[in-house]
A and B are shown apart, each in its own frame.
Chain A
Amino acid sequence: MTITAALVIPTGTAVLGACVVLALVAVAVVALTRRTDRRVMARLGSSLDRLGLDTLTTSGDSAGHSSGDASLDELLSRIEQTLRRSRLAGEQELGAIGRLQEVLDTLPLAVMVVDASGTILERNIAAGAFIDARHSDALVGALVNELLAESLAGRPAERTLELFGPPRRAVDVITRPLGVNGMRCAVAIIEDITERRRLEAVRTDFVANISHELKTPIGAIGLLAETLQAEDDPEVADRLAQRIQMESYRVGRTIEDLLELSRIEVDETRVADVVEVGSILDEAVDRLRPAAEQAGVVIEVLGSELDDSLRCDRRQMVSALTNLLDNAIKYSDPEGRIEIRGAVGAEEVVFSVTDHGIGIPARDLDRVFERFYRVDQARSRQTGGTGLGLAIVRHVAVNHAGSVDVESRLGEGSTFSLRLPVSLLGSPPDPSPKEPQ
């Protein structure tokens, strides 16, 4: 009975082999209790040999094919050893299957294997999302079934599904026919390629944008200078010179911002100054006051009285808020209103800038923090920004273990929030903090 219990554990081929052995044992026991017939013993022994167990023999004299002489003890020990081996092999097999399943489950891909009737033989955790799914996932499930049917007929298949969501994503489904032990089945691999696509877009757009931002003004300067050389009319020459000056300022600004951005990227650990929350707000607003007045926009400051001290890189923090304010002014209607707010909460310190301007289309919201990303190319050119402002803001936030996010609605305005952890509050252990310059 103990043998039977042990045999329950292994699976697959091991079980099959062990069952045969068990049957043989039963025959042997019955036979041996009735009469110790040597011939029966001999047949038993040769059966074991035929089953390929001869290589497993332990005793020296039965190494050959004369197992008919093997004693009962010897036979039993052979059987026992064989069982032990097969159990061990079964356990190893189980262990390997378990490990494989674990590996499959850690994959970011969804994997499933189905047989010819469409029954799922194997699947990992990620594939569970597409079984009995609803909404967008139901469409992925339907496509998987369609392609699996094709692969069960022997053809590999592959398709990308664009889902409008929300959230918007792209999913790749790949199916291949499999022939495990002659059994017809197929495997489906489902991969969410949304992030990969986004990164590809970021990369290609970045290259296109940076060359545009730098080459356009430089090309213009070259042409203008050429024209200037051949120009006799002082009035026209003056105008051309002015244009050259304007374009060179523009390149200058872009390069300055690029340098600032790379400085911030390098400066990851520098969180040295201790500043009052309110004074950061005041300084940023003071810098932008003339621009706001020129645009006829009113800036309302909330929280400038906050005297909690914040450990941060003061220059970076002011630069981040200035960039947010600068954007808010550019995209506000004349006579518009902007609120800049500082708030110290239980978990985070939040600086937010709210405008009531044109807003940002929903599909651009998660891309506005990219370098040179423009929602509206034409308009951005007019406003004269370098396209790096929000990338700078994001890096400042990251340097301070914080984050920046935006909520916006077209035609209603946008709110950018710069969130910093409260752990930055309070004085540093260093007794001589740097004075704000």
Chain B
Amino acid sequence: MPEQRKSFHQELDEIRDQIVELGALVREFIPRGTEVLLTGDMGGALALIDADDEIDALTLRVEEQCYNVLARQQPMASDMRSIVTAVWLTGELERSGDLMVNVAKAARRIYGATLDPRLRGLIERMSEEASRLISLSLDAYVERDASLGAALADIDDALDTIHGDYIEAIFDAHSADDLGLQPAVQLALVGRYYERIGDHAVNIGQRVQYMVTGWLPEQTGAARLRARAAFGDAADGDPSAEAPSDHEPIEDHDRPGEGPR
């Protein structure tokens, strides 16, 4: 029996190592794609798009291994959560890689357009922030650090702010006739890709919280819904009854960090 547990834990470690490798591949993609975009390196764009296959293959491999372990070992509690988290993470990471492929494709579409230094600087900064967020989310995963996982949502605010400035800079450049409509639209999408990578990192942070504590931010919303339903039943047919949770501002996405219950 102890022999079997040992091999099971080895399998868990293997899954973790592969997630780390997948994360490292995706993290490399971010500065690499940015360089392709800023230097107009078409060969680099093609190489990056091809290299995404590697990420896809690794994603499949990890997922398969996760299912395998689930089916064979029928893990419970935190072991179960570790594997479920790994499956989630493959999705988040693979998608982040795809977003950088989109950046490389955008680089092909805007080829020849000159970007003013301000835009280039903002792209560099978005790229650095996105790469930092992915790094931190992987740190949280490896160290099983739920509080770092929760903090990612706040850390992501910096990227959102730069993204806002960037969109403004695109408007400025376009209205000053320095940037055509087509590249302007492409660049706006590029900004969105970086911003989405940040969101994926925030998601990873939430999944890490789940892995460690068993709690998901969505549970706050679910609890609110239940409370509302219970309250609605009690005050049947009286929509004006005070339901304090109804009047709370609805957030874009539930912030983690409200703590497990």
Chain A contact residues, CB within 8 Å of chain B: 132-139, 141-142, 163-166, 168, 358-359, 361-363, 409-412
Assess whether A134 is in contact with B28, with CB atoms less than 8 Å apart.
no
Assess whether A164 is in contact with B124, with CB atoms less than 8 Å apart.
no
The stretch among B112-120, B145-153, B179-187 that forms the contact with chain A is B112-120
Assess whether B124 is in contact with A362, with CB atoms less than 8 Å apart.
yes
- Distance A142 CA – B28 CA, assembled complex (angstroms): 14
- With an 8 A cutoff between CB atoms, is B75 at the interface? no
Assess whether A139 is in contact with B24, with CB atoms less than 8 Å apart.
yes
Residues of chain B from 1 to 60 with CB closer than 8 A to chain A in the complex: 17, 20-21, 23-25, 27-32, 35, 38
The stretch among B131-139, B200-208, B232-240 that forms the contact with chain A is B131-139
Assess whether B21 is in contact with A363, with CB atoms less than 8 Å apart.
no
- With an 8 A cutoff between CB atoms, is B221 at the interface? no
Provide the residues of chain B in CB contact with A358, threshold 8 Å: 117
Of B27, B118, B131, the contact of A411 (CB 8 Å cutoff): B118
Besides A135-B23, A410-B121, 14 other CB < 8 A contacts? A133-B20, A135-B27, A135-B138, A138-B17, A138-B20, A139-B25, A141-B21, A165-B31, A166-B31, A361-B38, A361-B120, A409-B124, A410-B117, A411-B117
- Shortest distance from the beta carbon of B56 to any chain A beta carbon, whole Å: 16
Assess whether A139 is in contact with B121, with CB atoms less than 8 Å apart.
no
- Shortest distance from the beta carbon of A434 to any chain B beta carbon, whole Å: 44
Chain A residue at minimum C-beta to C-beta distance from B118: A411
Assess whether B119 is in contact with A411, with CB atoms less than 8 Å apart.
yes
- Distance A132 CA – B142 CA, assembled complex (angstroms): 10
Assess whether A411 is in contact with B35, with CB atoms less than 8 Å apart.
no
Assess whether A142 is in contact with B31, with CB atoms less than 8 Å apart.
no
What are 23 A-B interface contacts by the 8 Å CB criterion? A134-B23, A134-B24, A134-B138, A134-B139, A135-B138, A137-B24, A138-B17, A138-B20, A138-B23, A164-B29, A164-B31, A166-B31, A166-B128, A166-B131, A168-B31, A361-B124, A362-B124, A410-B117, A410-B118, A411-B119, A411-B121, A412-B118, A412-B121
Assess whether A138 is in contact with B125, with CB atoms less than 8 Å apart.
no
Provide the residues of chain B in CB contact with A168, threshold 8 Å: 31
Assess whether A411 is in contact with B139, with CB atoms less than 8 Å apart.
no
- With an 8 A cutoff between CB atoms, is B216 at the interface? no
Assess whether B117 is in contact with A359, with CB atoms less than 8 Å apart.
yes
- With an 8 A cutoff between CB atoms, is B122 at the interface? yes
A410/B120 contact (C-beta < 8 A), A135-B135, A164-B31, A361-B38 known = yes
Assess whether B24 is in contact with A138, with CB atoms less than 8 Å apart.
yes
- Distance A139 CA – B28 CA, assembled complex (angstroms): 9
Assess whether B121 is in contact with A409, with CB atoms less than 8 Å apart.
yes
Provide the residues of chain B in CB contact with A410, threshold 8 Å: 117-118, 120-121, 124
Assess whether B142 is in contact with A411, with CB atoms less than 8 Å apart.
no
Assess whether A136 is in contact with B131, with CB atoms less than 8 Å apart.
no
Q: Is the interface of A mostly helix, strand, loop or mixed?
A: loop
- Shortest distance from the beta carbon of A227 to any chain B beta carbon, whole Å: 35
Provide the residues of chain A in CB contact with B119, threshold 8 Å: 411
A411/B120 contact (C-beta < 8 A), A134-B139, A135-B135 known = yes
- Distance A134 CA – B25 CA, assembled complex (angstroms): 11
Assess whether B28 is in contact with A136, with CB atoms less than 8 Å apart.
yes
Q: Which of B28, B38, B125 has the most CB of A within 10 A?
A: B28
Q: Is the interface of B mostly helix, strand, loop or mixed?
A: helix
Chain A residue at minimum C-beta to C-beta distance from B19: A138
Q: Which of B28, B31, B117, B131 has the most CB of A within 10 A?
A: B117
Provide the residues of chain A in CB contact with B138, threshold 8 Å: 134-135
- Distance A135 CA – B117 CA, assembled complex (angstroms): 30
Provide the residues of chain B in CB contact with A132, threshold 8 Å: 17
- Shortest distance from the beta carbon of B115 to any chain A beta carbon, whole Å: 9
Provide the residues of chain B in CB contact with A135, threshold 8 Å: 23-24, 27, 135, 138
Q: Which of A139, A411, A412 has the most CB of B within 10 A?
A: A411
A164/B28 contact (C-beta < 8 A), A142-B21, A411-B122 known = yes
Provide the residues of chain A in CB contact with B32, threshold 8 Å: 164
- Distance A163 CA – B30 CA, assembled complex (angstroms): 11
- Distance A142 CA – B128 CA, assembled complex (angstroms): 24
Provide the residues of chain A in CB contact with B20, threshold 8 Å: 133-134, 138
Residues of chain B from 94 to 143 with CB closer than 8 A to chain A in the complex: 116-122, 124-125, 128, 131, 135, 138-139, 142
Provide the residues of chain B in CB contact with A409, threshold 8 Å: 121, 124-125
- Distance A143 CA – B12 CA, assembled complex (angstroms): 21
- Distance A358 CA – B25 CA, assembled complex (angstroms): 32
- Shortest distance from the beta carbon of B55 to any chain A beta carbon, whole Å: 12
- Distance A142 CA – B23 CA, assembled complex (angstroms): 12
Chain A residue at minimum C-beta to C-beta distance from B128: A166
Chain A residue at minimum C-beta to C-beta distance from B131: A166
- Distance A304 CA – B105 CA, assembled complex (angstroms): 52
Chain B residue at minimum C-beta to C-beta distance from A408: B121
Chain B residue at minimum C-beta to C-beta distance from A163: B28
Provide the residues of chain B in CB contact with A163, threshold 8 Å: 28
Assess whether B35 is in contact with A164, with CB atoms less than 8 Å apart.
yes
Provide the residues of chain B in CB contact with A359, threshold 8 Å: 117, 121
- Shortest distance from the beta carbon of B19 to any chain A beta carbon, whole Å: 10
- Shortest distance from the beta carbon of B144 to any chain A beta carbon, whole Å: 13
Q: Which of B29, B121, B124 has the most CB of A within 10 A?
A: B121
Chain A residue at minimum C-beta to C-beta distance from B120: A410
- Distance A401 CA – B21 CA, assembled complex (angstroms): 43
- Distance A138 CA – B20 CA, assembled complex (angstroms): 7
Provide the residues of chain B in CB contact with A361, threshold 8 Å: 38, 120, 124
Of B24, B120, B142, the contact of A136 (CB 8 Å cutoff): B24
- Shortest distance from the beta carbon of A370 to any chain B beta carbon, whole Å: 19
- Shortest distance from the beta carbon of B224 to any chain A beta carbon, whole Å: 37
A138/B35 contact (C-beta < 8 A), A166-B131, A411-B116 known = no
- Distance A163 CA – B51 CA, assembled complex (angstroms): 13
- Shortest distance from the beta carbon of A374 to any chain B beta carbon, whole Å: 15
Q: Which of A134, A142, A412 has the most CB of B within 10 A?
A: A134
Provide the residues of chain A in CB contact with B120, threshold 8 Å: 361, 410-411
